[in-house]
Amino acid sequence: MAIIELTKDNFDKEVVESDKKVLIDFWASWCVPCRMLSPTVDAIAEERDDVKVCKVNVDKQGELASAFNVSSIPMLVVIKDKKVVDTSVGLISKNEIIKMLEK
C-alpha cells in the first residue's frame, strides 16, 4: 500500500475515518535517525495491507506534530479505532514496529 503524506487537511479523511490501523511516522529531512528508519517504515507499507502507513514532515506540519506532542523524532504512533494505542520515539527495529501494530 502506498504511503500517505499527512497534512492537517487530509488527517480526518486518512486517519480518523480509517477502518484500518494507522501507523504514523513523524520525521524531518535533517534527522539522521528518521532517514535510517524510513526504509523500514516503507517496507511495512509494502508488506502490510491491513495497516495504513502515513508520514508527517514535522517541519511542514507543525500543527499535527503539536497535536501529538511530538518533542523528539523519529516518533511512531499507532492509531486504532480513532485512539492512540502505542507510540515509540527513536530508531527501532522492524520487529518492534510489528509488535506495536499487533496491539
Note if 34 is an active site residue.
yes
Catalytic residue among 31, 85, 89, 92: 31
How far CA 42 is from CA of 3, 17, 20, 71, in Å, comes to: 7, 22, 17, 23
Catalytic residue among 4, 34, 54, 79: 34
Nearest-angstrom CA–CA distance, 12 and 22: 12
Nearest-angstrom CA–CA distance, 27 and 35: 8
Q: CB within 8 A of 13, min separation 6: which ones? A: none
Note if 54 is an active site residue.
no
- Residues with catalytic annotation? 31, 34
